[in-house]
Amino acid sequence: MTSMRAKPNQVSRRSLLRRSFMRPPTEDRNSLIGHSRVIPYLLSGPAIFMVSLLLAFPVLYAIWQSTYRAEVIGGETEFVGLQNYIDLFGDPAFLSAMNRTAIFVFGCLILGISLALVFAFALNKAGRRLRFLRGITIVPYLVSGVAAAVMFRLMFNAEFGQVNRTLEFFGIDGPEWFSTPSLAMVATIIAQVWTDLPLAVLLILGGLQTIEPSLLDAASVDGATGWHRAWYVSIPLITPQLAIATVWFSYGTLTSLGVVLALTGGGPMDATRTVPIHLYETAFVELRRNEALAIVVVILALNALLTLIYTTVSRRYDLRS
């Protein structure tokens, strides 16, 4: 019944919209927009101009400059086409940085989204007296990445850090976190997840709060356990929020510089030298700015690709669409 009523409404709304766009200006004299088709563009023009100026121009400028190269620092640049990109993908250091970035991003995504789900479900169930925890959740977001890195540097200190002291309490010898390549990456992932977690938690929590309680009640009546209700009802219904949280995490981790630079500086043995660190060193240590802009464009393309994948996947599994 519902779908039979909805169909004519949708068609009608669409045709109304089409008609209103095609309508001659004289038809609706009371509407400012109705007087001219140009007015909407004039009204939105300044905003479009500002957004283009502030957001699009730097991106286009970076793409344009990445096709140039200076032989001498500060010297005249010459057009080299895609040579910067060809050199970049032929550079073993960059390819290694790409591999490490993939490990870093997916490590952060798996840990971050898992923790965000757990915290969001817990906060969603929290009673009135524990609602203040939702406010506290945002605190890590207020701490700058560099400050967080300093904090985690102390926490993971092999001799006096809380992590190793806790392990020691359980009779486990704490490792040297920052001088063991694989553990340095683990510590970096944990620090990065801590800084990016709050928004993901709040996004997923928002999604959980939009779920009709009747759906969960119906599942309970059908004998679904709490785990089943979460897995088969709640999580599918919050797919859009999960997708947004995943996209957010991928942006944050793929472009993360402050946390990694302050925590490990890319070491030891380049174990945490991700693409943003490679970019930083290319731009500010080696002073090869045009080549650095090529890396910027690669990061941009990777982010766009990840966004496309996540939104496609979320659309595919979004039950409400």
Where on the chain is the footprint of another protein (CB under 8 A)? 46, 50, 54, 72-75, 153, 157-159, 176, 178-181, 264-265, 267-270, 281, 283-287, 289
In the complex, the smallest distance separating the C-beta of residue 160 from another protein, rounded to whole angstroms, is: 9
Q: Based on CB atoms, which residue is closest to another protein, 243 or 260?
A: 260
Q: Rounded to the nearest whole angstrom, what is the least distance from the CB of residue 56 to another protein in the complex?
A: 15
Min dist. Cβ of residue 170 to another protein (A): 20
DSSP string, 184-210: HHHHHHHHHHHHHHHHHHHHHHHHHHT
At its nearest, how many Å lie between another protein and the CB of residue 177? 8
User: Closest by alpha carbon to 260, among 274, 241, 248, 281?
Assistant: 274
- Closer residue to another protein in complex, CB, 98/158: 158
Other C-beta atoms within 10 Å of 134: how many?
16
Give the distance from CA 306 to its chain's centroid: 9
Asked if 117 contacts 204 with a C-beta cutoff of 8 angstroms, the reply is yes
Q: Which is nearer to another protein, 157 or 255 (CB)?
A: 157
In this structure, is the dihedral angle defined by the CA atoms of residues 33, 36, 37 and 41, taken in order, positive or negative? negative
Cβ proximity to another protein: between 77 and 307 the closer is 77
Amino acid at 137: T
Is the distance from CB of 201 to CB of 123 less than 8 angstroms?
yes
The 3-state DSSP class for residue 196 equals: helix
Shorter beta-carbon distance to another protein: residue 150 or 309:
150
Residue number, 163 or 205, with CB nearest to another protein: 163
Collapsing DSSP states into helix, strand and coil, what is residue 78?
strand
Of 69, 81, 70, 89, the closest CA to residue 275 belongs to 89
